[in-house]
Amino acid sequence: MNTYICILRGINVSGQKIIKMEALRNSLSQLSFRRVLTYIQSGNIVFQYKTEETKVLEELIHEKIKADFGFDVPVLVITGEKLRNIISANTFTSEPEKDTSFLHVTFLAQKPVSFDEAAIRAKKTEQEEIVFSDEAVYLYCLKGYGKTKLNNNFIESQLKVTATTRNWKTTLKLMELASVNEP
């Protein structure tokens, strides 16, 4: 058994695509996932399953949500190791003056083939910083994520990959749940 982290995009936002977490846990348990845990209402799931390619798991979860809840929801699945790598690669956390409550991680479904980094940086304000990696984009938004133009839709359109964003607190909580859930 391996531990996986699943991050759904666009559920329970502004009254759209409502899925109760208990119903989601029950649904995914029907896929023979074990120790299914959820964190808050925005589609953060940790589970155990036999060794499998994450793309296969994404498709299984996507189809199960579509069948059980009627929603077409982007699904991103990563391993605990990949989440640890994403967390450790965050250069903002080595800067003690940074308040982590303004830190966000945009998880990428795959490595972008190419993108215009200058065009993306042109959208940031003086109170924002952005760092790119192959697996994630790290955002520091001093005025808050709700006010940035570097939002998930913009990042997706510029990098041409599926992505979903979580704040730093949620990212660390997912790692904590994954660590507790290790077989």
Residue 181 tokens, joined: 């859930």
Under 8 Å between Cβ of 174 and 83? yes
- Report domain extents, the chain: 2-83+173-180, 84-167
User: What's this model's pTM, rounded to 2 decimal places?
Assistant: 0.93
Average pLDDT (48-71) is 95
State percent of the chain over pLDDT 70: 99
Is 12's pLDDT higher than 90?
A: no
What is the third-level CATH fold of 2-83+173-180? Alpha-Beta Plaits (3.30.70)
How far from chain centre, in Å, is Cα 9? 8
